[in-house]
């Protein structure tokens, strides 16, 4: 223990530093954060609707694939846990582990229809089919 006469010291024996500033004594620095501007998606004439629909479709398929991966991962973890805990545990708990994996898969995959329908609207589909499906010849048209 440090002992000195007449000056204050810390328990380490060092002289104390300057007292801490009271809150609000110094102005806080202003930090500017710049976000990089995202580029706007560009489309050829008449293909925007199809590309937007395709984006929603691919997102929903990705969601389904993620759901399958999540469900199988949960099943494998539970299966290994059952196998380690008891003899023939993987077989005994098969139905329960499959159920838990399916629960996880359904929970993750339940958002896939929303991903699809958010992008695909009836107006957009009508326009896309009108553009890409050839019209029938004039003699098939009923008057």
> Per-residue pLDDT tens for 27-84?
777 888 888 888 888 888 778 878 888 888 888 899 999 999 999 999 999 999 999 9
Domain count within the chain: 1
Q: What's the rounded Cα separation, in Å, for the pair 15 and 7?
A: 8
Residue 77 burial (CB count, 10 A): 13
Tens digit of each residue's pLDDT (9 = 90 or more) over 75-124: 999 999 999 999 999 999 999 999 999 999 999 898 888 888 887 776 77
Report the pLDDT value the prediction gives residue 133, as an integer from 0 to 100: 60
**Is 7 inside any structural domain?**
no
**Is 13 inside any structural domain?**
no
User: Which of 134, 125, 135 lies closest to 48, judged by CA?
Assistant: 125
User: Residue 111 belongs to what domain range?
Assistant: 58-132
**Is 48 inside any structural domain?**
no
Q: What's the rounded Cα separation, in Å, for the pair 92 and 32?
A: 60
**Is 125 inside any structural domain?**
yes
**Is 19 inside any structural domain?**
no
**Is 38 inside any structural domain?**
no
**Is 11 inside any structural domain?**
no
**Is 104 inside any structural domain?**
yes
Secondary structure letter of residue 58 according to DSSP: H
Give the confidence band of 9 by pLDDT, cuts at 50, 70, 90: low
User: Which of 102, 77, 100, 80 lies closest to 89, judged by CA?
Assistant: 80
Report the pLDDT value the prediction gives residue 123, as an integer from 0 to 100: 73
């Amino acid at each position: 223990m440090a002992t000195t006469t007449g000056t204050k010291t810390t328990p380490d024996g060092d002289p104390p530093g300057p007292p801490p500033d009271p809150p609000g004594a110094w102005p806080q620095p202003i930090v500017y954060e710049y976000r990089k501007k995202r580029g706007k998606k560009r489309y050829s004439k008449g293909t925007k609707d199809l590309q937007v629909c395709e984006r929603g479709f691919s997102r929903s398929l990705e969601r389904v694939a993620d759901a399958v991966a999540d469900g199988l991962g949960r099943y494998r973890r539970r299966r290994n846990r059952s196998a380690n805990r008891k003899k023939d545990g993987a077989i005994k708990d098969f139905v329960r582990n499959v159920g838990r994996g399916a629960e996880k898969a359904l929970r993750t995959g339940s958002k896939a229809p929303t991903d699809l329908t958010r992008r695909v609207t009836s107006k957009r589909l009508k326009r896309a089919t009108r553009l890409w499906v050839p019209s029938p010849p004039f003699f098939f048209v009923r008057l």
